[in-house]
Structure 1
Amino acid sequence: MPNPKVLPAKPNALDAIFSVRKPVIGVIHLRSLPGAPRYDREAMTDVYAAAVRDAKTLADGGIDGIIVENASDMPFSRPEHIGHETVAALTAACMEVRGAVDVPIGITCVANGAIPALAVAKAVGAKWVRVNQWANAYVANEGLLNAAAPEAMRYRAMIDARDVAIFADVHVKFGAHAITADRSIAEQATDAEWFDADVLIATGARTGSPTERREVDEVRGGTNLPVIVGSGLSPEQVPQLFAAADGAIIGQWLKEDGLWWNPVDPRRVAALLEAVAKARGVA
């Protein structure tokens, strides 16, 4: 596999999307959508209203970007089984969020729904999609998942969505790494860059699990792309992680009582961004 240092240089996707150094992206965990086992006939207007409330709390608190995710659709469908109803509801939710706030938005469609996420992003004007398994294969909660990149990049070209950036996880969470256990995290980062990701994500073992500084450093060692933290960030961890990372995606810690299914807590948003402001000042 070629060294990333000999790959053609790419523009910095974070600089293209955000107006600040080391951006912080908040997560909107949507309530269950139609078709998911836990959907209980809640009016879709209520689902969208909850998303808009979270979006406004995040934006009013100074967050730099928002990613919208169908986080309550557990157990998640495999990529090939994600239904039209999920894409439709996720698109409608994103349109409501986009109409309520001015910050850039991105899309996560789980599990590993790179192509559905790209379709939604194209429709709503989102700036990026997050994909958990971009290169290589993993034994995930949904079973064996193959790399999304080959089909997703061709689909992105087909729908003329080259301006939608790919934020790809490395050494992904929620699953076993048995298939890739003989390859270093740096090598896996090189794989993701070689498969044309734009931003790489260093993450913990599952939602809310702290990302270790070592993980960030190892991802950085295999790529020239921006590297951001993908889970578990708290104000106490900001100084250490922001010394190494180019930004962060943060969801669970910003919620009331630190539970991802609760509404966003404005006090937690303020506390986190205060720590980030200090870290930016010394970086």
Structure 2
Amino acid sequence: MSIFSNLGNKKLVIGLIHLKPLPGTPFYEEGGFDKSLEKALKDAKALYKGGADGCLIQTVDRVYPAGDDADYARVAAMSVITHEVKKSVSPEFIIGTQIMWNCITPSLAVAKVCGASFTRCTSLIGTTASAFGLVNANPLKVQQYRRQIGAQDVALISEIDGYHFQWLGGELPLLQKVQMAKMAGADAVEVMHSDEEINNRMVHDIKKAFPNMPVVLGGKTNIENVSRRMKEADVALVGSCFENKDWGGFVDETIVREYVSIVRAMEK
């Protein structure tokens, strides 16, 4: 069963942990791995003590492969970091891992071996443009590998309209993309729009048509707007808000605590 199943009134707050460039990537600098590990542990502690439900550990390597495969050293580094974060928090703290840009099977491998609960898929369905080339989905490969390593318990969040994914080749109706993601084995779908009204309408439409499909907000929430943006959504991925508007910086426990208190009040 997915961690996103049967949430009821519960709303999950998941903070992003942005790493430094990892070994095996062009912009890696000597000592960078230790800095990434130190940051991940510090951020995880701030999120945990601030009351967040979990974290998503995400690579920030500046340039990325457009395909699914990832350098061995990169995967090894991500595994060590995820393992150490897992050891540093309570078992109830949810951990996700994402090797960008769309390295889904390596992310699944890290999650399965390290005991993480989910990964986020830039393109589980369709094709999207990126600065690194066209990113093409391969759900057959993902699901075959997921079964091969017994990772059905690792949930998949499928971006369908958001930060990293915009359908290429003519826009499809939102609900059609939800249906495609569901067919491809997604456990939750992610949306994000900078326009709050549009964002809220997207969430509403999905929940009306697919009441059992968890909806993840991919960004743009903050202390001022979370009570409105999270009204019908199930999960929020939170980055720069928790980093005090310094994307890629350290997580601020005080901000996490204030944000979480607002969300907890919405669950009553």
TM over 0.5: yes
Q: Which amino acid aligns with 2:137?
A: A
Report percent identity of matched pairs: 27
**2:79 counterpart of 1:91:** yes
2-structure distance, mates of 1:176, 1:166? 18
- Counterpart position of 1:139: 129
8 Å CA contact retained: 2:67, 2:136: no
2-structure distance, mates of 1:133, 1:143? 13
Query: Cα offset for 1:189?
Result: 0.9
1-structure distance, mates of 2:265, 2:165? 35
2:230 to 242, 245, 267: 242
Give SS of 1:37's match.
coil
Indicate how the Cα distance of structure 1 residues 87 and 233 shifts in structure 2: closer, same or farther if over 3 A, else same.
same
- Structure 2 portions without partners, runs of 5+: none
**2:18 counterpart of 1:46:** no
Give SS of 1:48's match.
helix
2:103 to 113, 121, 130: 113
1-structure distance, mates of 2:165, 2:4? 28
- Counterpart position of 1:74: 62
1-structure distance, mates of 2:18, 2:189? 21
8 Å CA contact retained: 2:2, 2:153: no
2-structure distance, mates of 1:176, 1:191? 14
Per-residue deviation, residues 56-103 of structure 1 (Å, max 9, x unmatched): 011011110111111x20111222452111101110110111111121
Which range moves more in the overlay, 269-278 or 90-99? Answer: 269-278
Indicate how the Cα distance of structure 1 residues 20 and 121 shifts in structure 2: closer, same or farther if over 3 A, else same.
farther
TM-score, scaled relative to structure 1: 0.86
- Counterpart position of 1:4: none
**2:264 counterpart of 1:277:** yes
8 Å CA contact retained: 1:136, 1:180: no
Per-residue deviation, residues 199-255 of structure 1 (Å, max 9, x unmatched): 1111237xxx97821232243355331112111111222222222111211111100
2-structure distance, mates of 1:229, 1:173? 10
Query: Cα offset for 1:176?
Result: 4.8
Q: Which amino acid aligns with 2:266?
A: A
- Counterpart position of 1:267: 254
Q: Which amino acid aligns with 1:146?
A: N
Indicate how the Cα distance of structure 1 residues 47 and 139 shifts in structure 2: closer, same or farther if over 3 A, else same.
closer
Query: Cα offset for 1:180?
Result: 4.1
2:215 to 227, 246, 249: 227
2-structure distance, mates of 1:185, 1:142? 25
Output aligned runs, 1:105-254, within 5 Å: 105-174=95-164, 176-181=166-171, 183-204=172-193, 212-223=199-210, 224-254=212-242
Per-residue deviation, residues 179-210 of structure 1 (Å, max 9, x unmatched): 241x21111111101111111111237xxx97
8 Å CA contact retained: 1:235, 1:276: no
User: What is the CA RMSD across the aligned residues, in angstroms?
Assistant: 2.2
1-structure distance, mates of 2:106, 2:206? 27
Query: Cα offset for 1:15?
Result: 4.0
2-structure distance, mates of 1:176, 1:19? 29
Give SS of 2:241's match.
helix
Which range moves more in the overlay, 42-51 or 150-159? Answer: 42-51
Which range moves more in the overlay, 41-50 or 227-236? Answer: 41-50
8 Å CA contact retained: 1:139, 1:179: no
8 Å CA contact retained: 1:106, 1:126: yes
TM-score, scaled relative to structure 2: 0.90
2-structure distance, mates of 1:222, 1:38? 44
Indicate how the Cα distance of structure 1 residues 83 and 158 shifts in structure 2: closer, same or farther if over 3 A, else same.
same
Tell me: higher relative CO, structure 1 or 2? Use CA pairs within 8 A at least 6 residues apart: 2
Give SS of 1:192's match.
helix
Indicate how the Cα distance of structure 1 residues 216 and 87 shifts in structure 2: closer, same or farther if over 3 A, else same.
same
Query: Cα offset for 1:148?
Result: 3.2
Which range moves more in the overlay, 246-255 or 132-141? Answer: 132-141
Query: Cα offset for 1:46?
Result: 2.9
